[in-house]
């Protein structure tokens, strides 16, 4: 079966991953794991208390079979009600202690995962933009949700269980030696043989589980992608294609499910048969020992109870190796993420950039060691002037804006404001004085109020202030017509409002920020004529009294700019006012003629 990577080769790859994970929990992994736990500042008292309660419950469960032995042997002389009550009471106490231990350790684990997720999220949100360029959103979500849970499970569940189960195995062996060493020898041989018989089936079940996870992950990925882009599917008449893609993933999942059903159907009877044969063989030998007067019925009953303890404990300890492998991988991924370089928002000076000239001096940039995106780009924007960037798509205009927002650092050259290097100014100070409106301005799920004040945590804004900026952005009327007005929910990515309305809310947000430098990236490119006119009026109002940088393909929107820079293949090939470029720059002149004709 080649579907979904579920052939034998796929299984061996998964096994290799697990084996590598088991081998990987070496001193380095342990050090990283302990470092992660220490970082969360856990309540160690809860951990110690949970372990002690668990060990106490285990100790009691070791005493009970010993008492049952004496109780069974005394039945010939009558039922000792007091002893029966004691055994029942100890069973209840052991179960109660186990429950209490699970609660205490559960709270301990939840504290750890809360602290770890908070730290991972705080790290993620401060990572550089370049980090997100190289990774998928789902991968980062997995670090936040799944990997932190694996670490929590190991420290709060698997490790305490390992302590108690080791005690249970050693204690059971100790008491079994005292009760009947001959029967113990038979058990010592029989139990490993049973696990050796079961191991291939358990490994096969593990392979099927991995295959199911892969198939389920593929199906969820297709479903998430399709549902998030449902408008594209419908507008492209791609329902059949989306259905076919999902059907293939569902079929793959079905095939794995059938194999899993067959395995589950066979596994339980085989396990039951193996267990019954083991118990029957041990009972048969035990009856023989009773018949020959070597031991009593009570001893046999006690030995069987200890055997049940051992089988359960060995199974749990076998699962601990898998938990270690998972936690090792998760620890490595979280540690790697936390070790990434991040933006230091407050490092640098707090500088007022109002009425200062912005300059780019011979800036070059490439995303990696490949071809340069920008090559010795220089430009100047005087205070309160309008500077535009024009040129063919892919020339580097948006990359210049990314440099200005300091999402990336130039590989050479520098940006200055008022003669001071921009890198000497703290990111928090710099970005708080910049407003950005793009052709598809980001709108967060939430209310209009939430979107207007997003990122503005310095103070509370009154409704009057919000209505004022909406009016300046020509957005007041449509917000007033909404049922909840400022508290109207806009939906994920603003799907409940039109493109023009999203743009005007973004402009209102820029008004509220009152930026010293305004950057407009094709802000009217994707709008209809009516919406474009409204948005352009709002932009004209917003641009007054500010240094404004504009990217535009529609040259009609930048003819009045104080200076236009024409960007081709990452280089400035022309600069001047509109009329000057029409005369001096052939490609710019061609663009003007084409747009006039159109």
CA pair distance 439, 524, nearest whole angstrom? 6
Q: Give me Rg for the CA atoms of the chain.
A: 35
User: Is the separation of the CB atoms in 417 and 425 below 8 Å?
Assistant: yes
Q: Cα angle at 531 between 528 and 535, to 5 degrees?
A: 130
Q: What Å distances lie between residue 380 and 229, 567, 580, 585, CA to CA?
A: 40, 14, 17, 19
405 DSSP assignment:
T
What residues does 420 pair with on adjacent strands? 417
- Domains assigned to the chain: 18-179+319-343 (1.20.1560.10), 358-597 (3.40.50.300)
Q: Which helix (H) or strand (E) holds 271?
A: helix 239-291
Of the candidates 62, 51, 27, 58, which has an alpha carbon nearest to the alpha carbon of residue 157? 51
Number of residues that this document lists for the chain:
598
Measured CA to CA, the distance from residue 510 to residue 497 in angstroms comes to 18
Sheet strand arrangement including 358-365:
374-381, 358-365, 412-417, 420-421
Per-residue pLDDT of the chain (598 residues; tens, 9 = 90+): 333 333 333 333 334 444 444 444 555 566 777 777 777 787 888 888 888 888 888 888 888 787 777 776 666 666 666 777 877 888 888 888 888 888 888 888 888 888 888 888 888 778 777 777 776 666 677 777 777 777 777 777 777 878 888 888 888 888 888 877 787 788 777 777 777 777 777 677 667 766 776 677 677 767 766 776 665 566 556 677 778 877 887 888 788 778 777 777 777 677 777 777 777 787 788 788 888 888 787 788 888 888 777 777 777 776 776 677 667 777 777 777 777 777 787 787 888 888 888 888 888 888 777 778 888 888 888 888 888 888 888 888 888 888 888 888 888 888 888 888 888 888 888 888 888 877 766 777 778 888 888 777 767 778 888 888 888 777 788 788 888 888 778 776 666 677 777 777 887 887 887 888 888 887 666 555 666 677 777 777 777 778 888 887 777 677 788 888 888 888 888 888 888 888 888 887 887 777 654 4
**Per residue, what are the HEC states of 184-225?**
HHHHHHHHHHHHHHHHHHHHHHHHHHHHHHHHHHHHHHHHHH
Residue of 362, 365, 399 whose CA lies nearest to 521: 399
Nearest Cα neighbor of 184 from 275, 57, 289, 61 is 289
- Show the tokens assigned to 40: 């969360």
The pair of three-digit structure tokens given for residue 23, joined into one six-digit string: 């081998």
- CA dihedral (213, 219, 222, 227) in degrees, to 10, reads -110
Handedness of CA 563, 568, 574, 577 (dihedral sign): negative
Query: With contact defined as beta carbons under 8 Å apart, do 512 and 461 qualify?
Result: yes
Q: Which residue has the tokens 């042997």?
A: 73
The conformation of residue 396, written as its DSSP 8-state character, comes to S
Task: State the Cα torsion 472-475-476-477 to the nearest 10°.
Answer: 130
Answer for the pair 437, 551: CB distance below 8 angstroms, yes or no.
no
Task: Please write down the HEC assignment for all residues of 466-517.
Answer: HHHHHHHCCCHHHHHCCCCHHHCECCHHHCCCCHHHHHHHHHHHHHHHCCCE
- Distance in angstroms (rounded) separating the CA atoms of residues 479 and 423: 39
Are 443 and 506 a contacting pair, CB within 8 Å? yes
Q: Whole-angstrom Cα distance, residue 515 to residue 511?
A: 7
Residues 6+ apart with CB under 8 A from 461: 452, 453, 512
E strand or H helix at 313, and its extent? helix 297-338
Backbone angles phi, psi at 569, to 5 degrees: 50, 40
**Is the alpha carbon torsion for 74, 78, 82, 85 positive or negative?**
positive
Q: What are phi and psi of 145, to 5 degrees?
A: -100, -60
pLDDT at 333: 77
């Amino acid at each position: 079966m080649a579907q979904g990577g579920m052939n034998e080769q796929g299984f061996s790859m998964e096994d290799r991953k697990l084996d590598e994970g088991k081998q990987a929990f070496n001193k380095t992994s342990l050090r990283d794991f302990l470092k992660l736990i220490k970082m969360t500042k856990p309540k160690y008292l809860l951990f110690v208390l949970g372990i002690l309660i668990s060990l106490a419950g285990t100790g009691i469960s070791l005493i009970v079979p010993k008492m049952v032995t004496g109780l069974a042997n005394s039945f010939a002389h009558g039922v000792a009600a007091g002893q029966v009550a004691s055994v029942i009471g100890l069973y209840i106490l052991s179960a109660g202690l186990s429950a209490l231990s699970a609660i205490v350790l559960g709270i301990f684990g939840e504290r750890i995962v809360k602290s770890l997720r908070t730290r991972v999220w705080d790290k993620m949100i401060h990572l550089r933009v370049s980090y997100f360029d190289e990774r998928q959103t789902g991968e980062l979500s997995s670090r936040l949700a799944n990997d932190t849970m694996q670490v929590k499970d190991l420290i709060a569940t698997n490790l305490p269980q390992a302590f108690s189960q080791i005690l249970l195995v050693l204690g059971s062996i100790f008491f079994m030696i005292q009760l009947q060493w001959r029967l113990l020898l038979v058990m010592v041989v029989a139990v490993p043989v049973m696990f050796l018989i079961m191991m291939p089936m358990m490994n096969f079940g593990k392979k099927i589980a991995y295959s199911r996870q892969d198939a389920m992950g593929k199906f969820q990925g297709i479903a998430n992608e399709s549902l998030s882009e449902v408008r594209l599917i419908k507008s492209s008449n791609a329902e059949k294609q989306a259905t076919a893609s999902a059907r293939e993933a569902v079929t793959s999942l079905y095939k794995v499910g059938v194999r899993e059903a067959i395995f589950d159907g066979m596994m339980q009877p085989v396990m039951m048969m193996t267990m019954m044969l083991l118990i029957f063989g041990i009972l048969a030998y035990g009856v023989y020992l009773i018949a020959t007067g070597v031991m009593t019925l009570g001893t046999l009953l006690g030995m069987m109870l200890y055997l049940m303890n051992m089988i359960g404990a060995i199974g749990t300890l076998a699962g601990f190796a898998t938990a270690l492998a998972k936690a090792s991988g998760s620890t490595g991924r979280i540690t790697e993420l936390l070790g990434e370089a991040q933006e230091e928002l407050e490092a640098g000076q707090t500088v007022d950039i109002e009425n200062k000239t912005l300059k780019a001096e011979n800036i070059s940039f490439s995303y990696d060691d490949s071809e340069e995106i920008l090559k010795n780009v220089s430009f100047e924007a005087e205070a309160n002037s309008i500077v535009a960037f024009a040129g063919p798509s892919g020339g580097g205009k948006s990359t210049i804006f990314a440099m200005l927002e300091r999402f990336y650092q130039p590989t050479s050259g520098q940006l200055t404001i008022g003669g001071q290097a921009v890198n000497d100014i703290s990111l928090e100070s710099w970005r708080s004085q910049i407003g950005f409106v793009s052709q598809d301005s980001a709108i967060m799920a939430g209310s209009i109020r939430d979107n207007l004040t997003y990122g503005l945590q310095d103070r509370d804004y009154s409704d009057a202030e919000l209505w004022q900026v909406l009016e300046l952005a020509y957005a007041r009327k449509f917000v007033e017509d909404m049922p909840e007005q400022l508290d109207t929910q806009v939906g994920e990515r603003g799907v409940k409002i039109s493109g023009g309305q999203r743009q005007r809310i973004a402009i209102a947000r820029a008004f509220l920020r009152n930026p010293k430098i305004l950057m407009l990236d094709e802000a009217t490119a994707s709008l209809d004529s009516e919406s474009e006119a409204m948005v352009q009026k709002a932009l004209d109002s917003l641009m007054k009294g500010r240094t404004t940088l504009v990217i535009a393909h529609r040259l009609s929107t930048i003819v009045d700019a104080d200076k236009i820079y024409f960007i081709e293949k990452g280089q400035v090939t022309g600069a001047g006012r509109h009329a000057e470029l029409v005369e001096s720059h052939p490609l710019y002149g061609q663009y003007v003629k084409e747009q006039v004709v159109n």
